Structure 1
């Protein structure tokens, strides 16, 4: 995970282009550390997250799922690694902007969702395919009520369909759509505009603008990730879905009683 500072703007770039920036344990840890490092720098006014032309971020590396053989291992991964990274985006002292080119899939789309602002290229696409592999978009389901209208949230998370950049704009998942070659420039221009303000004003505005997301929203993310680790990943749908993904075939999900627990 690369971090560089250009004036008052910190740029964090995902660094696994060969896997469309799919996140493994090191990736989630790196994102958390780089965001905390950038937010702690008193000279930084804004952070921009970058992928590459083919993909912003493909979410969780599917290979990680095959290493999570017990609920405790799953909890350690999702609550110990994924949750801190999402918290780091939300709780970063300065605004975080996602510069989205190409695909934003699963956890990658969720990073965009929890970012303060987002810029999408005309060819950017957003997809939450988790249900096709027997799991579910936990962060999105937990946070969307705080950041999106309910209907767009359901459209993306329940249908697993891919949204184009214009639809993502209408859903308020991104704030502007530009030509692909202009994504990084537009995101940097937005960050520089923010950076013209007072450091304390920027940080206080960010803190209060995300106050409910920091408390209720992140608590909901914790509960959603715990349910994923305790219930979903140990069930037959997740096993069948991940196998089918590797074998490049359509999954065959058995009809069984749901494992959804009542919310506390």
Structure 2
């Protein structure tokens, strides 16, 4: 890509952490938080560091401004239309970032405020959970400009039913937050003023669990989805047995039987 990969004046992504919750905030509102190569590189690096951070129990993915993410930077892409290697680098990195979110040991909650289109919608769909404001809107509008949202389709089709995914992909039309909730793209829709409180409550609830157990469960959830029924049960049975050997499982069972709060060791 010809565009500079870093901007020393202002971070592409902001990071704050408190009480086991790490917020990663896309920080290019003037560019509609588009997933430029620089943005993707920054986000990928932060996700890699967070994955190794024992103090982070939950991640909240947010964005500055009125647009959550408008997808790829079309001006950047336009400048590279004759550079197939550069375009391949961009989409390979984007796919890697989406997989990093899925592979992250910590649960990731999307703070879906404003508009999320194309790869921005893909970003929402890639997160484990999503809470949307009432004014949030979503679309995979690539078909409108002759560029089918093929990579966003991967995450979208793994979150909503085939017919709902195909409708979004074929029409390119914007859908409301309420419809996004009905089809399973987001978990819940709340009033604008309640968005941060609702996300904090959800994140805090999850952060209070054993991080070791969350890691085991998240990994198993995504792996079993790709298996046949018999294979999934065989795999998850093995996971249950392994999980029962963990200190936190022993502590959790004892705490439940003793009618007390568990003291997690995260192992």
Identify the TM-score tier after normalising by the shorter chain. Answer: 0.7 to 0.9
**Corresponding residue of 1:114:** 126
Equivalent residue of 1:147, what SS?
coil
Equivalent residue of 1:56, what SS?
strand
Separation in 1, partners of 2:29, 2:225 = 30
1:185-224 aligned within 5 A = 185-211=197-223
1:19-168 aligned within 5 A = 19-68=31-80, 69-79=82-92, 81-168=93-180
Separation in 1, partners of 2:150, 2:27 = 24
Separation in 1, partners of 2:113, 2:156 = 22
Separation in 2, partners of 1:211, 1:77 = 26
Change over 3 Å in CA distance of 1:179–1:77 after alignment to 2: same
**Corresponding residue of 1:257:** none
What is the Cα-based RMSD across aligned positions, in Å? Answer: 1.6
CA shift, 1:214, in A, is 8.3
Separation in 2, partners of 1:93, 1:108 = 22
Q: In the alignment, is the contact (CA less than 8 A) between 2:156 and 2:165 conserved in 1?
A: yes
Give the TM-score normalised by structure 1: 0.77
Separation in 2, partners of 1:213, 1:51 = 29
Q: In the alignment, is the contact (CA less than 8 A) between 2:27 and 2:33 conserved in 1?
A: yes
Separation in 2, partners of 1:135, 1:214 = 28
Q: Which has the larger radius of gyration?
A: 2
**Corresponding residue of 1:223:** none
CA shift, 1:140, in A, is 2.7
CA shift, 1:172, in A, is 0.4
Separation in 2, partners of 1:35, 1:214 = 24
Asked if 1:171 corresponds to 2:187, the answer is no
- Structure 2, unaligned runs of 5 or more: 1-12, 228-267
CA shift, 1:183, in A, is 1.6
Q: In the alignment, is the contact (CA less than 8 A) between 1:166 and 1:177 conserved in 2?
A: yes
Change over 3 Å in CA distance of 1:64–1:212 after alignment to 2: farther
Query: How many pairs are equivalent?
Result: 214
| Runs of 4+ residues over 3 Å off in structure 1 | 212-215
- Structure 1, unaligned runs of 5 or more: 216-264
Separation in 2, partners of 1:32, 1:9 = 18
